[in-house]
Amino acid sequence: MLEWIRSEGPVLLYYDIVLLLSVVLTSVYVYKWHKHFDVHITVIYVLVPIINLGYMLLAHSHSLKEAIGVNQLTFLGGCFANLIVMLVVFNMCEIRLPRLMRLFFFLLSALVFAASMTGGRTLPDGSPITELYYQKVYFSDALGAGFLTKDYGPLHAVFNIMNHLYFALSIAVIAYSFFRKNQVSRKILLLLFLPQIVAFFAFYAGRKLFPGIELIPAAYVFAQLMYLRIVSRVSLYDITETAVDSMAQTGETGFVSFDFSRHYLGSNETAKAIFPSLSNLTVDYSIRRSKSFSETAGPWIDAFQEDESHNTAQYEKDDRYYLVTLSWLYNNRKKRGYQLTITDNTKDQQYIRMMHGFNARLQGEVEEKTAHIIEMHDNLILSMATMVESRDNSTGGHIRRTSEGVRILLKAMHDDPRMSATFRRDLIKAAPMHDLGKIAVDDVILRKPGRFTPEEYEIMKKHAAEGARIVHEILKDTDDNDFHILAENVAHYHHERWDGKGYPDGLSGEDIPLEARIMAVADVYDALVSKRVYKEKMSFEKAHEIMMEGMGSQFAPEMKDVYLRARSALEAYYLSLE
């Protein structure tokens, strides 16, 4: 080994070691290679050993002609490696370089490389082919290694401008990303920056510090080391790729892809386990060749194609539940077909079903408790109304009778579009509350066995407004706001008249709520056909005449037809009480 080192010489040994290192690092990269690695980094690992081979052969050359021949390999680095490095920087910094600009830079590098191929070459008579790139080239081996000294021509200035441009753009992009793009790793930016600075130093300072030795090959090896570090980390930052890889490795997620003609493109083993018919499909053949799979997946794709929001489906097999998510299949940002992502959703579905069952039971219990509470609430209200009625000598059974009267009138209004089932239910429930205000009337007046004096009647009329106040207090905390309003209106306005001569507010016409208009008919009819302490009950015929006279004045005109339709049912009900 020592003899070989002595025979080689330190300079030649330097080029041999650098070449060996570049090959080793490229081998490491090949071993670590992943399909998601940046293609430009892969190109660098291909180029660097070739470039360093050129430097090594140049160092081992013994003549000008031999040196010029192998020198062309080194120009791959000067003309293309710097361009590729710049493209790596753009990609790592997530800045898209327009295609036309990339093409321009490639053609520029290719033209400069073509021009460099003529440098130092001569015609058969010994004269130079051209002096545009090199005017003169000299060969020396002063340090025991071949070395070329050149007098540059005008085209070499283009070479220098081009490489300075690539270097400046790279540094500018790194600096911009450092200050403006917080989604780009600072470690990656540093690893991109260091090779640029080392290469800059090797090109400009290296020749002055070490005349006759090129430090550029060592700079390329340093760049390889940095890029190995970059590729080991950059895939971790690509959340999309790492997520897909993680799902694929666990074997819990299936993938199936088709083109727009629904030709099968491929699937993983998980998908084939879920859909065994995929194993019988041939790549690039239509999925329609598998009837079972086509009948299953076809409607999913049809729905997704028609509306992208229809991007999920459920699939059940062997007591397992699968969530199928449809998405576009992209290739270089272009839609190329469809992709199905299949995940086992069994646990979620079982949990959902368990929760549905639990919720159903809970809802049933809540409804049962709620119904019980409502029943207690209604009974409480009815008990209060009955208690009020027991103080009034003139209205025994009035609450029960008027409530049934309201029910009969509502039945006669079955085709009225203004009244929902909820309205009808609430009005029947509110009817017993219409006279709650009488609880505030003094017993001397309320229990008087005869007609009221005008003064007493004025006091008695206050029961309507007082009833509305009491109902409001009772129902103010209820969740059923519609019932609250309706019950309050019944208590407040059931003594209002259509002509405005009623009480307590003198409302008229449509200003009187519908529920109060209906209650008024039932209330007055009961007063006419029932016995009171100050009068005997009236015959149905006489009561009918009075009711008809009041239509349009005391009662709303619309109630005339309603009353006439309900008349026979009202009379039958009151006859049943005798």
Asked whether residue 283 carries a pLDDT value surpassing 90, the answer given is: no
3-state secondary structure of 462: coil
Tell me which H or E stretch contains 157: helix 155-180
**pLDDT band at residue 373 under the 50/70/90 scheme:** low
Q: Is the pLDDT of residue 257 over 50?
A: yes
426 neighbors 487 (Cβ within 8 angstroms):
yes
Rounded distance between C-alpha atoms, residue 40 and residue 227, angstroms: 11
Which has the closest alpha carbon to 89: 176, 25, 162? 176
Task: Please determine, for residue 495, whether its predicted confidence score (pLDDT) is greater than 90.
Answer: yes
Query: What's the CA gap between 9 and 7, in Å, rounded?
Result: 6
Count CB atoms within 10 A of the CB of residue 86. Answer: 24
Q: How many H helices and E strands in the chain?
A: 23, 7
Identify the three-state secondary structure at position 332.
Answer: coil
Q: Is the pLDDT of residue 255 over 80?
A: yes
Question: Could you identify the residue written with the tokens 């790592």?
Answer: 92
Peptide bond into 98 cis (omega under 30): no
Residue type, 83: L
Write out the two tokens for 578: 């005798």
Q: How many CA atoms lie within 13 A of 384 on its CB side?
A: 20
Give the separation between CA 111 and CA 496, rounded to whole angstroms: 102
Would the pLDDT of 364 be above 70? yes
Mapping DSSP to helix (H, G, I), strand (E, B) and coil, where does residue 252 land? coil
Residue 467 is predicted with a pLDDT of 85
496-528 tens-digit pLDDT: 999 999 999 999 999 999 999 999 999 999 889
Place of tokens 């203004």: 418
* CA-atom Rg of the chain in angstroms: 49
What domains, with CATH codes, occur in the chain? 2-237 (1.20.1070), 246-344 (3.30.450.20), 368-576 (1.10.3210.10)
Picking from 14, 1, 111, the residue whose alpha carbon sits closest to that of residue 60 is 14
Question: What's residue 423's pLDDT?
Answer: 92
Q: How far is CA 505 from CA 111, 380, 469, 492, in A?
A: 100, 29, 14, 9
Task: Report the alpha-carbon distance of residue 202 to residue 30 in Å, rounded.
Answer: 27
Lowest mean pLDDT among 28-32, 375-379, 510-514: 375-379
> What CA–CA distance (Å, rounded) separates 188 from 41?
14
For residue 349, pLDDT beyond 70: no
